[in-house]
Structure formats: C-alpha cells, structure tokens
Amino acid sequence: MKNNFTTETLVQNIQSLCDAKKISVNQMLRECGLGKSVIDNLKRGYDPRLSSIVTIAGYFDTTVDILISCSIRSISSKEEKGESRMKEHPT
C-alpha cells in the first residue's frame, strides 16, 4: 500500500481549509487548543502527533484520512465537478 502522507501536503491542506473559513492558521490552532509549534514542526518536516491531527480534522469537520492523504485543492476542484470525497453529513 502506498503511503501518500507528507508533512508538506498536510500544511497545505490546513492552510487551504483555514483560507476557506477565512481564518488564520494561528487562530485555528488557538481555537483547537494547540500551540503554534504544531505547524512550525510540520513545516520543518517533523511527523505530527496523531492527537493534534485528529483535533484539527475535527475542527474542520473532515476525516484524518482526507486531511493527510491528498490535496484539499484537488478535492475542491472535484467537488466543483460533482465528485466529492469529503465526508457527507446526514441532514
């Protein structure tokens, strides 16, 4: 099984989700109760703690799998074409 995880993709996905919510990464981290070191360490290439990634995924109401394994930007373009991979919520 191929591992698609890179810290660079994770940082890009977090930034894209923050941009979509019109908030800064620092604001999101504060609201999650996480320190700025989470993003700083990711940018340095350090693997994140699973608990931090679960917290961030929960904040954006998405899955850890989506957050770490692919580009959110590619998901957004697929959504525009009706090919969503984001978690669906029952109404």
| The model's pTM | 0.75
| Predicted pLDDT of residue 69 | 77
Domains and CATH numbers, the chain: 7-70 (1.10.260.40)
Contact 14, 28 (CB under 8 A): yes
CA of 85: how far to CAs of 10, 40, 43, in Å?
17, 28, 26
> Residue 88 above 90 pLDDT?
no
pLDDT digits (tens, 9 = 90+) for 50-64: 999 999 999 999 999
Confidence band, pLDDT 50/70/90 cuts, at residue 5: confident
pLDDT digits (tens, 9 = 90+) for 12-34: 999 999 999 999 999 999 999 99
Instruction: Say which DSSP state 86 is in.
Output: S
